[in-house]
Structure 1
Amino acid sequence: MSANRVPWTPKVLTSSTAPQSLIDDKGCAIYGHFDGPVVNLAADKFRYFNEMDKPASQWAKYFDFKQFQFVSIVTPHYVIGVALADIRYAGSAFCYLYDIKQNQLIETSWLKPLGMGYQMSASPMQGGAKIKSVKGSVEFDIEQGRWRVKLDTLGIEADLYLQPEPLSLPMAMCNPTGYSGWTYTQKHNALNVKGTLLINHEPQPLQRVTAGYDFSAGFMRRETSWRWASINSLTDEGSLGLNLAAGVNETGCNENVFWLNGERHLLGAVHFEFTRQRIKGEQARQWRIYSDNGQVELTFTPQNCRQEKLNLWLIKSNFRQYLGHFNGFITDNLGNKHPLTNVLGLTEDHFARW
């Protein structure tokens, strides 16, 4: 992969200083892109109203707040995906191990009742999230914005630190959601990985390993859905990270961003074209992901999929996360065109009622 200069005059998106508290002294959320993590979400200080402008009950304020955290770790031989979620009615988690060469995926999942057997971090700057059972354990520790990932499941023994390049900025933003809610999301891709990683008791060298995380929380829509694409890769140009989404977090600003060797480029809106419905046994078809201004033009060819369908009356989830390869190009905010050729990454199609 190499960068070639092409004509490009984009409107460069900017970010503001991250506030200490996401909720201001009037009880309102602060919106926009930030240049780093917000220290305190301060959800307890949020003045939450119902559709008829009356203060929401404490019951509604508690159950309408959702959060989830996800980490993807990419080695030369494996992809590890691990998530923790608190939807108030229950806590859930999953972990999968994908063997790239064999195109084989194994997975495990957890589902815990209301507030029992799991915890989540209330801050993207400092805190811990974990879940544990006979299936194993998953733990995320955040200290001064630095993520530590500890896994003991599926033959994975990991104690890893996710470290950004010097001066590299995450994508951190807050948008209005629905009629009176808000969503904070923070993502950082193409991070260096330090620590120890064993898979089936075999030590994995970390020199060619990269990772990304997602921290999202807020008063989200009761029914929501999104399409998502993510890359954590080491290429001839260096470390390459990508986060693209549609269907969520698009009221005011969006979460689309490209990192090259730690340099962050905020991107405009993108479209996802793919076929959701298919005949049983039919191979998933190629996706197209693109922007109207020509800055993003990608195809994605699925190779494998982690999927789950839940229909539990109050909550529903139709989840598909695909592993596969991207081809095409991305043009950064300096006008440099970056071709992608068979770059491994993820896409996701998700509907949730929570």
Structure 2
Amino acid sequence: MERLIQANGQPHYGIFATPPTEVNYRDFDFRSPMGRRLGALAKWRRFHQFQYFGLVSNELIGGCALGNLSLLGIGFVYLFHPASGRLLERQFRLPLGFGTTFSQQPDEGVCELRSGGNRLRLENHANPREKRLLVELDDGTHIEAHFSEQSPAFQPMCICTPTAVNGWVYAQKVAGVRCAGQVRSALGDFDLSNIDAFAHHDWSAGYMRPETHWNWACLSGSVGNVRLGLNLSCGVNETSFSENCYWLDGELMPVGGVHFQFDRDQPLQPWQIRSGDGQVALSFRGHGLHCEQLNLGVLASNFKQVFGCFQGTLRPPGREPLQIDNLWGFVEDQYVKW
């Protein structure tokens, strides 16, 4: 598929074997809920885009995100050291996105944020298929990380779903891939290959609900000789199609609807995550937390991303169950108004 939006102004919907070359949102026939055609200003105001790169290992956890909310450009990066419980984190908010660049090409583009002596950069390359992260902070923190979707072969989750009465969301997810690179920070110096780090990645964009909430869970690691990745969500991409899945050695396994049970006031307490089709029965206990709150009236966010360990069972159809025992990963609880 060359472009997500068709000649008639409507998106291609469904789960795709390969990503679109471009998420050409300006070609979308954007209408009000009453059917009035909306112009370029409304298209710019309501279009939002995110990209996230996560690192997982027993020795170091990390995450970096960039977001384009039209009125605001946002970014954050954190590193968590499980052995000591130490957390390093930085947040950036740039009015109208000044200092940011966002490509609408999921597999061949650069998203970047610059603020003073700080730089967050996410690069996506189609040939070879790989994702790269570069973080340079004015306190000396330096992160270079990358992973490949080609060797060994990996099938990303590429999905576009209708949203509310007049929107859509395109999402592209990867989890359960080995990661290479270097990290230098106040937590120490790390070679990501030497610490057997895994990565996960999320590229999402579209016309999302003006007021929305979601939960999300992701893990990356190995069970015996199997490379395992997991992506579960509730609240965004369940209309007609679902992004819920896990990967076994890069092979995508679809999952039905999932339910998250947890204490919103105490997110570090245990979470329970179950799928209606019986494939997923997991518990999660948090070890660290990255949270942000923002309330500007027209924009608001209450965001909690928890990093910790998963326990439980995955039951792939026609295969032996996989027992999950203290695999590191993430869960998320987010409310957004935009």
TM-score range, shorter chain: over 0.9
Quote the residue 2:89 is aligned against: 107
Quote the residue 2:48 is aligned against: 66
Q: Unmatched 5+ residue regions in structure 2?
A: none
Whether 1:183 aligns to 2:165 is no
Distance of 2:46 and 2:153 partners within structure 1: 35
Distance of 1:161 and 1:251 partners within structure 2: 32
Whether 1:303 aligns to 2:290 is no
Please, which moves more after superposition, 310-319 or 128-137? 128-137
1:197 CA displacement = 3.4
Please, which moves more after superposition, 141-150 or 65-74? 141-150
Determine helix, strand or coil for the equivalent of 2:179.
Answer: strand
- CA deviations 1:153-211 (Å, max 9, x no partner) are 36432232211243310001000011011100001111222344334462424141110
Quote the residue 2:201 is aligned against: 213
Distance of 2:32 and 2:320 partners within structure 1: 47
Distance of 2:184 and 2:292 partners within structure 1: 27
2:255/2:275 contact within 8 Å kept: no
Distance of 1:213 and 1:203 partners within structure 2: 20
2:291/2:303 contact within 8 Å kept: yes
Quote the residue 1:158 is aligned against: 143
Determine helix, strand or coil for the equivalent of 1:59.
Answer: helix
1:198/1:204 contact within 8 Å kept: no
Distance of 1:230 and 1:67 partners within structure 2: 19
Whether 1:324 aligns to 2:312 is no
Whether 1:24 aligns to 2:24 is no
Give the partner amino acid of 1:163: S
1:109 CA displacement = 0.7
- Provide TM-score, normalisation by structure 2: 0.94
Quote the residue 1:335 is aligned against: 319
- CA deviations 1:123-170 (Å, max 9, x no partner) are 102110111223521101112142111111364322322112433100
Please, which moves more after superposition, 243-252 or 37-46? 37-46
1:229/1:346 contact within 8 Å kept: yes
Please, which moves more after superposition, 242-251 or 188-197? 188-197
1:210/1:232 contact within 8 Å kept: yes
- CA deviations 1:219-242 (Å, max 9, x no partner) are 111111100001011332332110
Distance of 1:106 and 1:194 partners within structure 2: 21
Whether 1:197 aligns to 2:183 is yes
Match of 1:50 among 32, 41, 46: 32
Identity over aligned pairs, percent: 32
Structure ranking higher on relative contact order (CA contacts 8 Å, 6+ apart): 1
Please, which moves more after superposition, 160-169 or 304-313? 160-169
1:171/1:188 contact within 8 Å kept: yes
- CA deviations 1:38-82 (Å, max 9, x no partner) are 111111111111111110122111100000000101233111111
- CA deviations 1:242-264 (Å, max 9, x no partner) are 00000111101111111122111
Please, which moves more after superposition, 151-160 or 319-328? 151-160
Quote the residue 1:13 is aligned against: none
Whether 1:236 aligns to 2:227 is no
1:69/1:216 contact within 8 Å kept: yes
Q: 1:343 to 1:155 in 2, by over 3 A?
A: farther
1:224/1:352 contact within 8 Å kept: yes
1:194/1:206 contact within 8 Å kept: yes
Give the partner amino acid of 2:49: Q
Determine helix, strand or coil for the equivalent of 1:60.
Answer: helix
Match of 1:173 among 152, 156, 159: 159
Distance of 2:145 and 2:291 partners within structure 1: 26
Q: Unmatched 5+ residue regions in structure 1?
A: 1-18
- Provide TM-score, normalisation by structure 1: 0.90
1:67/1:217 contact within 8 Å kept: yes
Give the partner amino acid of 2:180: K
Give the partner amino acid of 2:241: C
Quote the residue 2:214 is aligned against: 226
